[in-house]
Amino acid sequence: MVTKVLIAEDEDSDNLGIVSKLQKFTNAHIDTAQFCDKAEIMIKRGLQENLPYHLLISDLSFIKGHKKHKIIDGKQLINVVKQAQPEIKIIVFSQENKPAIIKSLFENYNINGYVCKGLYGLQELIKAIDTVIKNDISYTCPVAKEALHQNNILQINSYEVLILQLLAKGYKQEEISQHFIINSILPNSKRSIEDRLRKLRDEFNAKTNIELVVIANKLGLIS
């Protein structure tokens, strides 16, 4: 398995751990980037020099440093990279285990593998690389699979997400209505917002809107 691999991971401890492990199991050429912007540049340089990367292993969350970055998280990085080099394989290696997020990465970001950091994260990462590169099929680690299979993932659309986000920011229902009217978002009556919230409370089994927002937060549905 000879490949050229880029690791995008901000935490130096994780970064070093991944590299140490990969060096034992592959003879791949391994580069690392602690910032998304740097990762993007390296991918594009690889293309220019006709030595493209075959695999990107990327984290999702990157520390917001003092410098301003164009690309601030793994999702954006994946978008940019897939656009520049559609055939590249991407494995996400993150501690994130919220079902909504993992699902969205496969469905909307066309990633090739997902591995949750954890007890056996590195072992799973090796498996994922094998599966994705050798067999050209996608890979989901057991932990992520379990998260995905946990009690039917509740789908909520961006309209509903927005309501919950505004609630979380301290908007009252009347203010949400006003906000929707100003921003031409429909439906925008106070009454309709009430209705959505009732529906959401039902779906998520929340007794109050406070509990609803807390649950949505835990599931990674808002911000």
Partner DNA sequence: TAATCCCTTGTGGTTTAACACAAGGAGTTT
Partner DNA sequence: AAACTCCTTGTGTTAAACCACAAGGGATTA
Which of 106, 109, 120, 159 is close enough to bind a copy of itself by CB under 8 A?
A: 120
Amino acid, single-letter form, for residue 181: I
- Round to whole Å and give the CA distance between 3 and 87: 14
26 vs 178, beta carbon nearer DNA: 178
Amino acid, single-letter form, for residue 164: L
Which of 8, 81, 129, 197 is close enough to bind DNA by CB under 7 A?
A: 197
Which of 29, 149, 198, 218 is close enough to bind DNA by CB under 7 A?
A: 198
Q: Min. distance of Cβ 27 from a copy of itself in angstroms?
A: 19
What per-residue string of b and e applies to 10-23 under the rule 16 or more CB within 10 Å gives b?
beeebbeebbeebe
Residues 125-154 that bind a copy of itself (CB under 8 A): 125
| Nearest CA among 127, 148, 150, 122 for reference residue 139 | 127
Angle value at C-alpha 100, between 95 and 102, nearest 5 degrees: 45
Determine, following the binding rule CB under 7 A, whether residue 179 of this chain makes contact with DNA.
no
Determine, following the binding rule CB under 8 A, whether residue 36 of this chain makes contact with a copy of itself.
no
Q: Min. distance of Cβ 213 from DNA in angstroms?
A: 11
Stretch that binds DNA, among 14-22, 38-46, 72-80, 197-205 (CB under 7 A): 197-205
Determine, following the binding rule CB under 7 A, whether residue 209 of this chain makes contact with DNA.
yes
Determine, following the binding rule CB under 8 A, whether residue 65 of this chain makes contact with a copy of itself.
yes
Determine, following the binding rule CB under 8 A, whether residue 95 of this chain makes contact with a copy of itself.
yes
Q: Min. distance of Cβ 167 from DNA in angstroms?
A: 8
Q: Min. distance of Cβ 168 from DNA in angstroms?
A: 12
Q: Are 36 and 8 in contact (CB under 8 A)?
A: yes
Which of 168, 178, 188, 219 is close enough to bind a copy of itself by CB under 8 A?
A: 168
Which of 45, 64, 191, 218 is close enough to bind DNA by CB under 7 A?
A: 191
What interhelical angle do 190-204 and 173-182 show, nearest 10?
120
Instruction: State the residues that interact with a copy of itself by CB under 8 A.
Output: 10-18, 20-21, 34, 63, 65, 93, 95, 117-123, 125, 167-172, 206-211, 213-214, 217
